[in-house]
Amino acid sequence: MSAEKHKEQENKRGAGVLLHITSLPSLYGIGDFGEGAYRFVDFLAEAKQKFWQILPLNPTATVLGNSPYSSVSAFAGNTIFLSPELLVRDGLLSRGDADSHPSFPNNHVDYHTVTEYKNRILRLAFQKFGHRADKDFQKFCKDNAAWLDDYSLFLALKENFNGVAWNDWPAEVRDRKKVALKAWREKLHGRIAMENFFQYLFFRQWNALKDYCRGKGVKIIGDIPIYVTCDSADVWAHQGLFKLDKDGKPSFMAGVPPDYFSTTGQLWGNPVYRWNALKEQKYAWWLQRFEHNLKLFDIIRVDHFRGFVAYWEVPAGEVTAVNGRWVKVPVSDFFKVITKRFSKEQIIAEDLGHITDDVRAAMAQFGFPGMKLLLFAFDDKPATNPYIPHNQVENCVVYSGTHDNNTVKGWFEKEARPEDRNRVLRYLGRDVLSSDIAWEFVKLAHMAVANTAILPLQDILNLGEESRMNRPATVGNNWQWRIVPEMLSPWITAKLREITETCGRT
């Protein structure tokens, strides 16, 4: 390899950490865009990490299990991430307002209590802001009107109709009759203005944090869920893009067939797209979504990539995902439009699960890097297993696991079969205690052929099953895990930096 080629490959190699905003340390019950986030970016920079990967930033709800993959909007930001400290700094809250909160646990999120607290202080901030003629606020509302107008009206209507789903609203509002919408916008003007203000605060705080990341040489990898929730502003505003009946109820639901995670598959319940309608509109809604997210993030992980090739469609009324069928998508036409507008270098394809030749062909056609999980690497076919480090290609992202997996330590202790553990130890070439196994996987990821290595912070901290983020196909007790500041010790920083430098990923 020439010196120039070697330097080019060194520049391509990088490493990062997967940690969602909710998991950051904070005094206010949940990770936010305040001091804990900035200190975490400092940790990444000191450890020579190039990437910070997060989960979707869209609004969550306790009735939807607090999942970042179930949201009332594909565009809005989750206002529980707003930092009370920054609101005090900006004169929108008093110190007393911010500090008058209940006692929060410091190692997990109590979403119900946090949401009540954040809603209360945000309303106080809006009262202090009032209806002043703020040019930045007015510009934000104008620049984001394409999604913000419908989103804020949607939330105001939801509140007015006592939280019922939009497809159970009065027919003239459900069906978006112009006269009815105009009347409701006038009637709910104050509530709409308040929601616009909350979103203005979200994007202002987030953009400041993103600028700080850029200054520290850290790129943010965001996440686009393929589907949107039926009871969302997006489906209500774009009903023709989804397979709905005449009353706005889903005719079919999205999910995946039986797989590694569940013997009955996963029935997500989201409405599926009318891809012919999307194509007729030249994929305008998806283009808007990509553009919006690539303003928020440097790179986006496209969740459930195989659903852009063919998706699993389950008839409404089914209670499991077993009785579904695969439906083809115009994948080549779609991604030609996407990559004409946006760089393929900004896209990672989440290609886990049931991957077929047509999915591989689509990824090869557009050159999207896929994901390789080390937790899936140690089956009885090391010569052909695509996840094992020596079989990886440069154009991929290697992970120890994701938010949907157990931690490495938890997997090794609780899920791995004896033969799996033996294959891991044989690959490592020595016996390793479960107390040390996570860091062995961290090293394997950094040494792998893949250009990019991303490690969940739980594995860098060598934490067990109790620290996993999500258990797919379960409801409750997910998305709650948090770190405390002392976990990011100088020893952890130095150790991560050393292996990153040794493996040429700085």
Of 85, 150, 195, 303, the catalytic one is: 303
Of 404, 413, 465, 501, the catalytic one is: 404
For residue 405, what are the β-bridge partners? none
Residue 350 annotated in active site: yes
Residues in the chain: 506
Q: pLDDT at position 262, please?
A: 80
260-264 mean pLDDT = 79
pLDDT in tens, 154-212: 999 999 999 999 999 999 999 999 999 999 999 999 999 999 999 999 999 999 999 99
Average pLDDT, the chain: 95
Longest dimension (CA), the chain: 73
Lowest mean pLDDT among 127-131, 225-229, 357-361, 489-493: 127-131
pLDDT in tens, 84-124: 999 999 999 999 999 999 999 989 999 999 999 999 999 99
Domain ranges of the chain: 370-506
Q: pLDDT at position 131, please?
A: 67
- The one-character DSSP state at 264 is T
In this predicted structure, the answer to whether residue 336 has a pLDDT above a threshold of 70 is yes
Angle between helices 189-215 and 35-46 (to 10 degrees): 20
Q: pLDDT at position 6, please?
A: 45
397-407 mean pLDDT = 97
Alpha carbon separation from 23 to 84, 151, 456 (Å, rounded): 17, 27, 11
- Residue 236: HSE in the Cβ half-sphere, 13 Å Cα cutoff: 30
Of 32, 350, 440, 459, the catalytic one is: 350
Sign of the dihedral through C-alpha 390, 394, 399, 403:
negative
Q: What is the pTM of this model?
A: 0.95
CA distance 70 to 416: 30
Residue 303 annotated in active site: yes
pLDDT in tens, 245-256: 999 999 999 999
Q: pLDDT at position 258, please?
A: 85
pLDDT in tens, 421-460: 999 999 999 999 999 999 999 999 999 999 999 999 999 9
Q: pLDDT at position 263, please?
A: 85
Of 401, 371, 279, residue with least CA distance to 332: 279
CA distance 427 to 218: 32
Of 261, 281, 273, 262, residue with least CA distance to 312: 273
